[in-house]
A = this chain, B = another copy of it.
């Protein structure tokens, strides 16, 4: 699920522009949080991002992590995903994809979608921003156990 190094550099360079375009300022905290998302693409919760971010930036605060994540979501560099009761998760993969979620062990993985929202019905007047598609069930390992 990792991208190649060149693509990651690209991602990081885009940060400044994208923040600007969205009316946000570039800050070291936002870079740090974005790096956390890019470095381990395992759909961390805000709290997991917080703990990882503290390794490189010990003074960063909880509220800032939320602020940074929200800024990244708003300027199109990350997505927020809602898979279960409790904490939201974050994902820097902006390709059209869906999330397979194991209800037993909590594992999440991305699967790129062949077609985009073309198959979806389009209610009159509704202005679509994005799709949030989760597939719940048991991952291969957990399915075998039962």
Which residue numbers of A lie inside 8 Å of B, CB to CB?
A: 80, 82-85, 88, 98, 100, 102-103, 109, 111, 113-115, 117, 119-121, 123-141, 143-144
Q: List 8 A-B contacts (CB under 8 A).
A: A100-B123, A109-B123, A125-B139, A126-B140, A128-B136, A131-B134, A131-B136, A132-B134
Contact between A126 and B100, CB atoms less than 8 A apart:
yes
Residues of chain B contacted by A85 (CB below 8 angstroms)? 80, 82, 88
**Residue picked from A119, A126, A128, most chain B C-beta under 10 Å:** A126
State how many copies of this chain the complex holds: 2
Q: Chain A contact residues: over half helix, strand or loop, or mixed?
A: mixed
Contact between A113 and B121, CB atoms less than 8 A apart:
yes
